[in-house]
Structure 1
Amino acid sequence: MSQISQALHHFHRRKRIYQRHERYPSRNKWKRLMDRVILLVGIMGPIMTIPQLVKIFAEKDASGISVVTFTSYLILDFFWLAYGIMHREKPIIMTFVAWIALNIIIIAGTLMYG
């Protein structure tokens, strides 16, 4: 590691201690439970979008589906993905990769059948 990078690493470590971030996994059983539940929530969100995909592609009908709305979601999802990558948060990365894929498919279906 270069001297600058060692200094920055030390600075960020001290900053983290100073800000009193909690350790992970938490000693509190309720926080540990919430850490596990949030993974489930991250998986369930994209799964709950599957009926929308079925409606679009099985019925070949995208009436009432807004391309602008799903394009906006897609743009926001890229910011969330970048945030997850920057902070190395696998749950955020996995969730928003799924959302990006689903939103692209919905946009494509809406353009094809809308």
Structure 2
Amino acid sequence: MNIIRIKRSTEKEKKLLDKMSYPVNIIFPLLTIPQVIEIFTNKSAEGVSEVTWILYAVMSFLVLLWAIADNIRQLIISQSVWLIMYGLVIAGIFVYR
């Protein structure tokens, strides 16, 4: 017995979701900007874990490689923006530690 039923998307719905994903894939990583601002305005990375942010960047890089290999444009955009944000946080950590 199948309790959960998942409706398959129509081609029109899939295209709409694909179009909606572009702004989300750019805006979502930009939510890291407050952390970047916090580090650089206070000139302190106290309480910010370099290991965590470096691991985020490594994992994001691996996903980016996979997205490039499979030519998944939305994921390439998203992971590229994430890597920029991670790079900024990591740079701030090493500058202000």
Report the TM range for the smaller structure's normalisation: 0.7 to 0.9
How big is each residue's C-alpha offset from its partner over 1:64-84, in whole Å with a ceiling of 9 and x where there is no partner?
Answer: 111011011011011111011
Gaps of 5+ in 2: 1-8
The percentage of aligned residue pairs carrying the same residue is: 34
Give the match for residue 61 of structure 1. Answer: 44
8 Å Cα contact 2:29-2:82 kept in structure 1: yes
| Matched residue count | 90
Aligned amino acid, residue 12 of structure 2: K
Q: TM-score, normalised by structure 1?
A: 0.70
Which protein has the larger Cα radius of gyration, Structure 1 or Structure 2? 1
Offset, 1:27: 4.9
Give the match for residue 102 of structure 1. Answer: 85
Give the match for residue 85 of structure 1. Answer: 68
SS in 1 for 2:45: coil
Gaps of 5+ in 1: 1-25
**What aligned pairs does 1:1-114 form with structure 2 within 5 A after superposition?**
27-114=10-97
Cα distance in 2 for residues equivalent to 1:28 and 1:98: 28
Offset, 1:113: 1.4
Please give the root-mean-square deviation of Cα atoms over the aligned residues, in Å.
Answer: 1.9
Greater relative CO, 1 or 2 (CA 8 Å, sep 6+): 2
Aligned amino acid, residue 13 of structure 2: W
Offset, 1:51: 1.0
8 Å Cα contact 2:30-2:85 kept in structure 1: no
How big is each residue's C-alpha offset from its partner over 1:30-80, in whole Å with a ceiling of 9 and x where there is no partner?
Answer: 322211222121111121111111111111121111101101101101111
Cα distance in 1 for residues equivalent to 2:47 and 2:28: 21
SS in 1 for 2:44: coil
